[in-house]
Amino acid sequence: MKDIKKIILPNGLRVLLVPQPSNLAATVLILVEAGSEYETKQTNGVSHFLEHMMFKGTTNRPKPGMIAHELAALGAQSNAFTDQEYTGYWAKVQAEKLPQILDIVSDLYLNPIFDAPEIEKERGVIMQEINMYEDDLPAKAQRIFGALVYGDQPAGWDVAGEKKIVAKLGREAFTAYREARYVTPGTVVVVAGKFDEKTVLAQVRRAFGTLPRRAAPPKKRTVERQSAPRVALHFKKTDQAHLVMGFRAFTIFDDRRFALRVLADVLGGGMSSRLFMRVREEMGAAYYVGAGTDASLDHGMLGISAGVDRAKAVAVTKAILEECARLRDELIPAKELRKSKDHMLGNLVLGLETSDDLASFYGGQEILTKSVMSPKERAARIERVTAEDIRKAARTVIRAQGLNFALVGPYRSKETFARILTL
């Protein structure tokens, strides 16, 4: 892969070109600084609803279904997504058809029409999406956990929004939010795979170059206050209990996040991790169990999730806490540290095989931090992590004062779990 290029147009739009000449495909990804953490209580869910509406018609493709049919006729793969801190629109196609998908994706970003009948139809679709997530118990546990940790502020709200709010969102909310957040300095256009640089850049300039530069309102800072463990239970008669446990951690700008990522891999990064071996293999108490990190602009998390035998939920919780305490109190043996690093480095390489993987890897960094780290640089940062670095990170993060626990299952008493949440 050749070196990537970052071009900033005079209006502030950022363009990332990620060439991979050996690829047979190319991807266009447009990312914008718009997500649930940029919403108000009255507009929670607007980022996600807006993302849906962008596909429902443009001034150039006004009829519903035109965008989907045109992409299908090109043999393209396409989708969109909304996260807490950004929204993305992408399409991938055979490299020679790149100009067509760049035209389509830029059109839906630039020229949506928000037709009133389509808004009402899509409102019903989103209501069903919310219902689907409500019935997805692992996802339900994650949402309860987020609300527990961050409370009634944007970081604690559901990306899809609440039904009562989604029911009221209309064209005025979409246009006002888009006017505020879909601005050139807050947008990144990524092209990855096989392409001609001059042709692509000229097309991007034609599509986006005349847009005026406007500044977006700043994100409201997330407030973090906690002095003791917190518990949230959602009672449901189930055979399997779904738990999420986590500790407040580092932002995306904190270099200690690399040590924490290695810690998370040792703890629950795969089938040979400590939690997998103990909770699944030794206790036979879970089908899925794992750990990971989430580093955001102004908050972070070390999280652990598991789907466990309802009769063993307390025992599993104790076991997880014991494994967390071990990482805080003991140095990781050299052989185990090497295994986890190799696991992470292997996943890093395998996760960059396709053009859409590359676009996400670079674009995701750029939209949040306005800078990018190459795979080689990221690998070097992982390699530099020592056992002592991990123990220091663990001693900072794995503390009762930042511990949160959420569970979906047949339990009503918080005290059942509160009394064992000690470290």
Q: Which residues participate in catalysis according to the annotation?
A: 51
Taking a C-beta distance cutoff of 8 angstroms, is the pair 197, 19 a contact?
A: yes
DSSP letters for 234-264: EE---SEEEEEEEEE---TT-TTHHHHHHHH
* Coil, helix or strand at residue 19: strand
- Residue 187 token pair: 């947008």
Residue 25 CA, distance from chain mean position = 24
- Residue 129 token pair: 């999406």
Taking a C-beta distance cutoff of 8 angstroms, is the pair 406, 232 a contact?
A: yes
Q: Quick one: which of 283, 89, 265 has its CA closest to 190?
A: 89
Q: How does DSSP classify residue 58?
A: B
Q: What is the edge-to-edge ordering of all strands in the sheet holding 286-295?
A: 230-235, 403-409, 240-248, 300-309, 286-295
In the chain, % helix, strand, coil (3-state, to 5) comes to 50, 20, 30
Taking a C-beta distance cutoff of 8 angstroms, is the pair 395, 328 a contact?
A: yes
Distance between CA atoms of 191 and 19, rounded to whole angstroms?
8
